[in-house]
Homo-oligomer: A and B are copies of this chain.
Amino acid sequence: MSNEVYLGIDLGGTRIRAGRFDADLEMEARTETLTLDEEGVDAVIERMIEQVKAVYPSDGRVAGIGISAPGPIDPVAGVITSPPNLKNWVDVPLRQRIQEAVNVPVYLGNDANLAALAEADHGAGRGYRNLIYLTISTGIGAGVITEGRLLIGTRGLGAECGHLLMFFEGERVSTLEQEASGTAIGRQARVALVNGEASQMLEMVEGDIMQVTAKHVVLAAQAGDAVALRLLERAGRIVGCGIVSLLHTFNPNIVIIGGGVAEGAGDMLFGPMQKAIRQYALSADYWENLKIAPAALGEDVCLIGAAALALHRGE
């Protein structure tokens, strides 16, 4: 079985990537093009098929193809439902469309779930059977592996841990993502500036407060800006509390954290996060042997995960 070949496709909002992998998930070939969603669904699917052909092995033998796509998707039916960063896509039967073109088993998974699979098989989570993967960027995505298996739930809508409900102020209910994602941190910074708080961020955008994003918060915090540091500390604490809920729920042996905000903020986020974990976990049993690791795979994480999906489903 070790000479089987698997293809991965990563359909992102801006880029389509495709790769050819061996059964150890080593990449043998890779290609990439722009998504150009504005040209319409059919044109994007055509480009996906072209990318697949570009990495197809010369002997024509492929054991399976995995596709990573931004959620929400229905992985069981193989349908892209209506992702916020693919504006023209509503209930597109992508798996079927690709399968008709290539006549090979095709599988569809959401990007964060497949990133978890990639990290478990080939990245920071190798050798761990109970793994939580969190990506903190514009939003907060997640993937969960329990006893070595990807958790997706009845209709494939599970592991949406960015949508843990957490906050109750009066009647307001909020989620982990709504409080601690890059989008949330940027919004909180703009509110602080509008309220007249003194911060370097104001100069970074030449006084145009509405231009402030999480990137400015991270940059300002690196320069010691008190407002920016306070916002990252709060986000880290909230992420830590979200992780505590996940520790109580899954009792994992590793938590892997990726995404641009986590990478940029580093210890300014990880410090308060770790502190919250120790403060709020039910007992030290949940964290004393827990590994917390940054994601090891870079921009190809979803591509590798897509191939891993095809490999696991073919088992």
Q: Which residues of A contact B (CB under 8 A)?
A: 72, 129-130, 144, 146-147, 149, 151-161, 163-170, 173, 238, 241-242, 244-246, 248-253, 280, 282-283, 285-286, 289
Return A57 CB to nearest CB of chain B, in Å.
33
Q: A153-B252, A285-B157 are in contact. Are A168 and B165 (CB under 8 A)?
A: no
19 A-B pairs with CB atoms under 8 Å apart are: A72-B282, A129-B154, A144-B249, A146-B146, A146-B153, A153-B252, A154-B253, A154-B289, A155-B285, A157-B248, A157-B285, A158-B250, A160-B249, A164-B164, A164-B249, A165-B242, A166-B166, A167-B241, A168-B241
List of 9 A-B pairs having minimum Cβ-Cβ separation, nearest first: A153-B251, A158-B251, A157-B251, A160-B248, A163-B248, A154-B253, A165-B241, A164-B245, A167-B167
Q: Is the CB of A72 within 8 A of B165?
A: no
Inter-chain CA distance A88–B241, complex, in Å, is 32
Inter-chain CA distance A252–B251, complex, in Å, is 19
How many copies altogether? 2
Q: Which residues of B contact A130 (CB under 8 A)?
A: 153-154
**In this complex, which of A156, A167, A241 has the most chain B Cβ atoms within 10 angstroms of its Cβ?**
A167
**Nearest neighbor of A158 in chain B, beta-carbon distance:** B251
| A164 CB contact (under 8 Å) in B146, B155, B248, B285 | B248
| A250 CB contact (under 8 Å) in B151, B168, B285 | B151
Q: A160-B282, A283-B72 are in contact. Are A250 and B153 (CB under 8 A)?
A: yes
Inter-chain CA distance A282–B250, complex, in Å, is 21
Inter-chain CA distance A15–B198, complex, in Å, is 63
Inter-chain CA distance A163–B130, complex, in Å, is 19
Q: Which residues of B contact A282 (CB under 8 A)?
A: 72, 157, 160, 163
Inter-chain CA distance A241–B251, complex, in Å, is 21
Return A253 CB to nearest CB of chain B, in Å.
4
Q: Is the CB of B165 within 8 A of A286?
A: no
Q: Is the CB of B157 within 8 A of A146?
A: no
Q: Is the CB of A249 within 8 A of B161?
A: yes
Inter-chain CA distance A165–B155, complex, in Å, is 26
| A167 CB contact (under 8 Å) in B144, B161, B168, B246 | B168
Q: Is the CB of B159 within 8 A of A249?
A: yes
